Amino acid sequence: MQLRGTTVLVTGASYGIGAALARSVAQRGATCVVLMARSADALGHVAETVTAMGARALPLAVDLTDDAALASAVHTLLAETGVPDVVISNAGSGRWLAIDETEPAEARAMMAMPYFAAFTLTRLLIGPLLARGAGHLVYVNSPAALLPWPGACAYSAARWALRGFAEALRADLHGTPIMVSTVVLGMVESQYFAHNPGVAERIPRLARRVLPPLSTDQAAAAILDGIERRRRLIIAPAALRGLFWLHAVTPWLVRRLTLAGGWRRGVSGEP
Ligand SMILES: NC(=O)c1ccc[n+]([C@@H]2O[C@H](COP(=O)([O-])OP(=O)(O)OC[C@H]3O[C@@H](n4cnc5c(N)ncnc54)[C@H](OP(=O)(O)O)[C@@H]3O)[C@@H](O)[C@H]2O)c1
């Protein structure tokens, strides 16, 4: 699907990868970009850039974990722009913590964002998408959805939930014209690490050694290239594809390397 002339919804569009996606979508000729996130001011700045690039911008400040607020935002979106052609569920957060460092409330919050937010947004839009008979649903995820590593227990579980949802949704939608893609990105130089303290320190050595960090613009370009080429699984950078391939062939080796250079408990088992 070419993005020229389309309406694209991007969640988490106030900062980082989402803001870069919004700008890049406009650059590729989208007619309208709908922006969702909580920070109204930051969304406004991104919307101004999108408008300056010649696309219509509809910023909707919403907490995606608030079902009623999200339903109201989707109502506004459908009334103002009609059914989006592409929906990119990109918003995400979550600290990397071992199980005994994670309060149950924080584990639930990590499921609320990104998994339940993506589920609810999709649930609200699926009827209109099916009625229109076209659409592309895209879920931005982490390598933790394929390769778990130590010290990020609830985070990994939430990313597996998001990946499982996308896979099951594709099966649900089999035979319909709605396409489903998962995006898996390595390290991206965004404010994620400032927004989620402690994450940067727990990146396994293997990832630091073999995965060159992407800029947010590079991540956005990889995602949009994948959408335009109708890829079901979009992986960037290329070295990450190699790592997944190695994991498929010799899972024990990648597991050993991930554990060897990852977060470790103290000698008495304490975090
Ligand atoms: N950075 C990386 O290395 C990396 C690697 C792989 C995957 N990812 C994934 O890529 C996505 C984007 O991350 P990023 O690096 O751009 O991080 P970021 O700079 O922290 O941006 C996260 C975005 O999500 C939004 N968000 C968070 N909670 C929200 C909520 N409850 N309701 C609405 N919006 C919410 C934030 O906006 P507000 O705060 O304004 O609400 C912000 O726009 C995430 O899903 C992340 O897991 C990142």
pLDDT the model gives residue 257: 87
Average pLDDT rounded to a whole number, residues 243-255: 92
pTM for the whole thing?
A: 0.97
In one letter, which amino acid is 214?
A: L
Please report where in the chains the tokens 């079902």 appear, as a residue.
Answer: 67
C-alpha 222/C-alpha 225 separation (Å) is 5
Residues 6+ apart with CB under 8 A from 228: 1, 2, 3, 28
pLDDT the model gives residue 271: 81
Cα 26 to middle of ligand 1, angstroms: 20
Is there a cis peptide before residue 237, judged by omega within 30 degrees of 0?
yes
User: Which residue's alpha carbon is nearest to atom 48 within ligand 1?
Assistant: 188
Which two tokens mark 32? 């309208």
Q: Is 188 in the pocket of ligand 1 (CB under 6 A)?
A: yes
Cα 94 to middle of ligand 1, angstroms: 9
pLDDT higher at 207 or 83 = 83
pLDDT the model gives residue 265: 84
Domain boundaries, the chain: 7-260
Task: Assess whether pLDDT exceeds 80 at residue 76.
Answer: yes
Cα 192 to middle of ligand 1, angstroms: 6
Cα 92 to middle of ligand 1, angstroms: 4
Average pLDDT of the chain, as a whole number: 96
- Any idea which of 69-83, 87-101, 253-267 has the lowest mean pLDDT? 253-267
Average pLDDT rounded to a whole number, residues 207-219: 94
Which two tokens mark 146? 């394929």
pLDDT the model gives residue 1: 79
Q: What ligand 1 atom has the least distance to the C-alpha of 213?
A: 3
DSSP helix/strand/coil, 138: strand
Cα 123 to middle of ligand 1, angstroms: 21
Average pLDDT rounded to a whole number, residues 164-192: 97
pLDDT digits (tens, 9 = 90+) for 222-240: 999 999 999 999 999 999 9
User: Which residue's alpha carbon is nearest to atom 47 within ligand 1?
Assistant: 92
pLDDT the model gives residue 206: 85
Catalytic residue among 15, 115, 139, 155: 155
User: Which residue's alpha carbon is nearest to atom 20 within ligand 1?
Assistant: 192
Beta bridge partners of 184: 141, 235
Q: Which helix (H) or strand (E) holds 34?
A: strand 32-37
Class of domain 7-260: alpha beta
pLDDT higher at 192 or 149 = 192
214, 188 Cβ separation under 8 angstroms: yes
Residue 134 — very low, low, confident or very high, per pLDDT cuts 50/70/90?
very high
pLDDT higher at 259 or 105 = 105
C-alpha 235/C-alpha 75 separation (Å) is 32
Task: Assess whether pLDDT exceeds 90 at residue 267.
Answer: no
C-alpha 40/C-alpha 11 separation (Å) is 13
Q: Is 155 a catalytic residue?
A: yes
Q: Is 16 in the pocket of ligand 1 (CB under 6 A)?
A: yes
User: Which residue's alpha carbon is nearest to atom 34 within ligand 1?
Assistant: 37
The terminus-to-terminus CA distance of the chain in angstroms comes to 47
C-alpha 35/C-alpha 87 separation (Å) is 10
pLDDT higher at 109 or 200 = 109
Burial of 98 (0-12, 13-18, 19+ CB in 10 A): middle
Q: Is 114 in the pocket of ligand 1 (CB under 6 A)?
A: yes
Q: Is 155 in the pocket of ligand 1 (CB under 6 A)?
A: no
